[in-house]
Amino acid sequence: MMALVNYDSSCSSDETIDEIDCPENRTSLANNLGEPLPKITKKGSLPGALSLLGTERATSTTINEHHDNPAEHAGRIRSFKHERGNWATYVYIAVRSEQLEDLQEVCQQVLANLVNDLHTIKDLHISLSRTVVLQYHLIDSFVESLKNALELRDRFSISFRNLHIYTNEERTRTFIAFKVDEMHFDKIHQLMSKVNGIMTDYKLQRFYEDPSFHISFLWCLGDKVAFLNEHFTMLKSSINIALGESETFSLLIQEINCKSGNKDFTFKLK
């Protein structure tokens, strides 16, 4: 399939992606609701679109309820109707960090006997938007607006030291995450505000009123917030040991990403 736009900032299309996508696999999977769905190939690799295309979106878009067989994808529920011309779209910061991958492993080992079916998140990211449904003919201008709003901004560093447990709005899934340190909140918030403005222009849902920027790195089914918080101290001390004296890790944010259907767009910061 041809790329829709070809910005300097880079755009790529992935022909091999799976049928649906979700926050934990945002950067590798696509949800091109405008295309017929390919056959599910890998068990366990399929995400839950309920969290991606939350049920509240069904009221404001052409997406309708459609439940499939949860057993086919690690118990996660898919809840949307495939509608030609509607593309799942989201804006995020892709995170590549070996240090974080190591910490992911540490946490997974610590929790292995406590939580069944704990999954690692392969495509680590910081969300700057919800997943919205964009009509195919609007993608070009939407991406152009993002480019104009984001590319003039300076790159910056952020740090992380605090763990936090999140659930999706339906409380069907729980995420273990590193929360962006308070001192860097404003920088990310400014980016999110730019994205929010564009969402408003396109009559799409804005990000959370009370945003909490984070990198989810493990997830499990159900609402396990209370349970995980009971083990929080143990988890935190394992993380601190792995992090060493600084008890923090940092990332340089150099670009913002957007995925629309199976198209990837990258906006370089200055």
Catalytic sites, residue numbers = 125, 214
Q: Determine if 23 is a binding residue for ligand AMP (CB under 6 A).
A: yes
Do residues 172 and 77 lie in contact, with contact meaning Cβ atoms separated by under 8 Å? yes
Stretch that binds ligand AMP, among 94-102, 163-171, 185-193, 229-237 (CB under 6 A): 163-171
* C-alpha distances out from residue 270 to 69, 107, 154, 196, 267, Å: 46, 35, 5, 21, 10
Stretch that binds ligand AMP, among 27-35, 97-105, 142-150, 162-170 (CB under 6 A): 162-170
- Least separation, in Å, of the C-beta of 51 and ligand AMP? 5
Do residues 49 and 40 lie in contact, with contact meaning Cβ atoms separated by under 8 Å? no
Q: Determine if 212 is a binding residue for ligand AMP (CB under 6 A).
A: yes
Identified binder of ligand AMP from the candidate list 109, 190, 208, 230, rule CB under 6 A: 208
Q: How far is CA 152 from the centre of its chain?
A: 23
Nearer to ligand AMP, 75 or 85 (CB): 75
Identified binder of ligand AMP from the candidate list 9, 51, 89, 129, rule CB under 6 A: 51
- Least separation, in Å, of the C-beta of 54 and ligand AMP? 8
Identified binder of ligand AMP from the candidate list 136, 166, 202, 227, rule CB under 6 A: 166
Q: Determine if 229 is a binding residue for ligand AMP (CB under 6 A).
A: no
Judged by the rule CB under 6 A, the positions of this chain that interact with ligand AMP are 23, 51, 127, 166, 168-169, 175, 208, 210-212, 216
